[in-house]
Amino acid sequence: MVLQMNHIMKIYSNGVVANEDVSIELKKGEIHALLGENGAGKSTLMKVLFGIESPDEGQIVLNGQETAIKSPQDAINKGIGMVHQHFMLVPSLTVAENIILGVEPKKYGFFIHMEKAISEAEEIAKKYNFDIDVRAKVEEIPVGIKQKVEILKALYRGADILILDEPTAVLTPQETDELFVQLEKLRDSGHTIIFISHKLDEIKKICNRATIMRSGKSMGTYEVKDISTEEMSRLMVGRDVILTFDKKPSNPKEVLMRVRNLSVRNNQGVQKIEDLSFDLRGGEILGIAGVEGNGQSELIDSITGLNKSYKGSIYIKDTDIEKSSIKEIRDLKLGHIPEDRMTSGCAGNLNILENLFSNQYTNQEYSGKMLLKTKRIQERSEELIVEYLVKCKSFRQNVGMLSGGNIQKVIVAREFSTEPDIIIANQPTRGVDVGAAEFIRRRLLEFRDKGCAIILVSADLNEVFSLSDRLAVMYKGKFSGMFTDVSAVTEEELGQYMLGLKHQEVQEGVIYE
């Protein structure tokens, strides 16, 4: 047993319980998968191990001795290396310079011994069979090689335990295969590897054991050869509590939004949405489930006008929005609760009133020819604060000072107060306390009953299950499944669609016209 993390507890200052009594054991010379959805607490656990976060409770036992890891430097000194998902490389420096950065070999006491650095870098690359030109500049090498540089960097610093954070997320299938060969070689030479992922096929392929995490807790450690992918997916995405709403059956009306043959590439040229078509009707909630990064954000950005470089067409109430500004799209009575409330949801340094009216300052009711109708706006703000149960001292308080749940209520109040016909709710209850989440969900249902068309993107399976009238699963930029009767779907089944293990060839109820 090379490493044990026992009963780790980590609660962030905003009250989010990221790790709750999590334990994990690593055997020397194994590739150990850490499996879980985004937000399941994998990253936090690894940050604790790498000294970026300190645990509130629990102990770390390294090579039989209890130890405290105070900083990344401390972790490196203790033989733990981490390859971050976002590479920690300096682009204009060479591969060799990046490898030796911070531990440079010297000559004449003052200069870098560059020949020695290069030969050492080449030596270590050769030792582990990495085919790399160490004289090349990092900015000129492909992503797959950059990752190898990161691994070499850790090895050069004497890492015995390597943490790889979703290493295949940025790689092509060929690069992934190559990486796996190298990881197996590292394992055979006695290194221990923690492989963070949510791709089950990869874990099956390369890992010896897997620890599965869900909403901050460990669901146990399993021998990979003894557990089926179905079982893994059930442990990974299963529901803890069943939410119940006394929800009336939906009564869908006319189609309010049509998406046709939508394709989106991100700015690295990666295809994020591929030929996606669907309809959205008034009076229904279309839930979109899926592991993050499968095109959900790109879809929402395209619909709401934040992303303009897409192929295909999007019609809102028969208006093609390709050339419409965000304001024009909003004027079609579309409300948007964005995914990241702090960056695109609100202006943290402005007060509640200013945030509440940031989409209404041209409205005749609140604005005269030159000046805002301050008194009317203040009255309305107070009404909205009461109606949406925003806990605050007054509308003059800065939004950034409120708790996450109350910020979200301000955003919801702003979006709903214009009486929209279409609501795009992207992770509307993420990081929001239970009470506020419940409140937001009820509001969404009220709007549905009034005939509003709603798209709900959520990583919370509970939420999509209990609110959606139709449920689509996104996988690699497409719908891998579409369910018109949500109650007939089991969570195991949904998990398999989310992870790409299942795919509907023919989909019912996607398009209505």
Partner 1 sequence: MLQNLLSPEFFNAILRATTPILFAALASSVASKSGITNMALEGIMLFSALFGVIFSAMTGSFPLGLLLTMVAGGVIGLMLAFFVLNLKTDEILAAIAINLMATGGTVLLMLAVSGDRGSSTSISNVSAPKIVIPLIDQIPFLGKILSGQNLMTYLSILAVVVMHLFLYKTPLGLKIRAVGENKNAAESVGISARKIQYIALILSGVLASMGGFFLSGGYMNMFTKDMSAGKGYIALAASAMGGDTPVGGFLVSLLFGAAQALANMMQLTDIPHELIQMVPYLTTLVGLGIYSYMGVRKRQKLAGK
Residue linked to tokens 């989010």: 16
- 418 contact partners, CB below 8 Å, separation of at least 6: 333, 335, 359, 360
Pairing of β 453-457 and β 285-289: parallel
Q: Is 73 or 358 the residue whose CB approaches partner 1 more closely?
A: 73
Q: What is the 3-state secondary structure (H, E, C) of 2-45?
A: CEEEEEEEEECCCCCEEEEEEEEEECCCCEEEEECCCCCCHHHH
For helices 143-156 and 173-188, give the axis angle rounded to 10 degrees. Answer: 20
Q: Is 87 or 315 the residue whose CB approaches partner 1 more closely?
A: 87
Q: Is 267 or 343 the residue whose CB approaches partner 1 more closely?
A: 267
Q: Is 103 or 169 the residue whose CB approaches partner 1 more closely?
A: 103
Q: What share of the chain is helix, strand, coil (3-state, %, to 5)?
A: 35, 25, 40
Binding residues with partner 1: total (CB under 8 A) = 26
Q: Mask: binding to partner 1, 28-47, rule CB under 8 A, as x and -?
A: --------------------
Kindly identify the residues of this chain, within the stretch 47-106, that bind partner 1 according to CB under 8 A. 71-73, 76, 82, 84, 87-93, 97-98, 101-104, 106
* CB 373 to partner 1: min, Å: 36
Q: What is the 3-state secondary structure (H, E, C) of 328-361?
A: HHHHCCEEEECCCHHHHHCCCCCEHHHHHCCCCC
57 three-class SS: strand
**Distance between CA atoms of residues 194 and 188, nearest Å:** 14
Kindly identify the residues of this chain, within the stretch 362-381, that bind partner 1 according to CB under 8 A. none
**Distance between CA atoms of residues 263 and 69, nearest Å:** 46
Nearest to 316 by CA among 335, 326, 303: 303
- Per the structure block, which two tokens stand in for 345? 């949801």
Q: Is 108 or 513 the residue whose CB approaches partner 1 more closely?
A: 108
* CB 82 to partner 1: min, Å: 8
* CB 106 to partner 1: min, Å: 7
* CB 308 to partner 1: min, Å: 16
Question: Phi then psi for 441, rounded to 5 degrees?
Answer: -65, -40
* CB 267 to partner 1: min, Å: 11
Q: Is 15 or 91 the residue whose CB approaches partner 1 more closely?
A: 91
* CB 193 to partner 1: min, Å: 19
Q: 1 and 24 in contact (C-beta within 8 Å)?
A: no
Q: Each residue of 448-460: b (16+ CB within 10 Å) or e?
A: beebbbbbbbbbb
Q: Is 101 or 401 the residue whose CB approaches partner 1 more closely?
A: 101
Q: Is 157 or 265 the residue whose CB approaches partner 1 more closely?
A: 157
Q: Is 97 or 354 the residue whose CB approaches partner 1 more closely?
A: 97
Q: Is 107 or 327 the residue whose CB approaches partner 1 more closely?
A: 107
Q: Mask: binding to partner 1, 128-167, rule CB under 8 A, as x and -?
A: -------------------------x---x----------
Question: Phi then psi for 445, rounded to 5 degrees?
Answer: -65, -40
What's the full length of the chain, in residues? 513
Sheet containing 478-483, strands listed edge to edge, beginning at the edge strand earlier in sequence: 334-337, 422-426, 453-457, 285-289, 470-475, 478-483
Q: Is 149 or 456 the residue whose CB approaches partner 1 more closely?
A: 149
Q: Which stretch binds partner 1 (CB under 8 A): 35-43, 111-119, 358-366, 388-396?
A: 111-119
* CB 167 to partner 1: min, Å: 16
Q: What is the 3-state secondary structure (H, E, C) of 176-229?
A: HHHHHHHHHHHHHCCCEEEEEECCHHHHHHHCCEEEEEECCEEEEEEEHHHCCH
111 lies in the site for partner 1, by CB under 8 A:
yes
Q: Is 29 or 72 the residue whose CB approaches partner 1 more closely?
A: 72
Residue linked to tokens 């300052």: 361
* CB 163 to partner 1: min, Å: 12
* CB 312 to partner 1: min, Å: 23
Cβ neighbours around 68 below 10 Å, total:
11
**Distance between CA atoms of residues 333 and 313, nearest Å:** 19
* CB 198 to partner 1: min, Å: 24
Kindly identify the residues of this chain, within the stretch 166-185, that bind partner 1 according to CB under 8 A. none
* CB 73 to partner 1: min, Å: 4
* CB 22 to partner 1: min, Å: 24
C-alpha neighbours within 13 Å on the C-beta side of residue 485? 2
* CB 93 to partner 1: min, Å: 7
Q: Is 349 or 358 the residue whose CB approaches partner 1 more closely?
A: 349
Q: Is 116 exposed, middle or buried (0-12, 13-18, 19+ CB in 10 A)?
A: middle
| Chain contacts with partner 1 (rule: CB under 8 A) | 71-73, 76, 82, 84, 87-93, 97-98, 101-104, 106, 110-112, 114, 153, 157
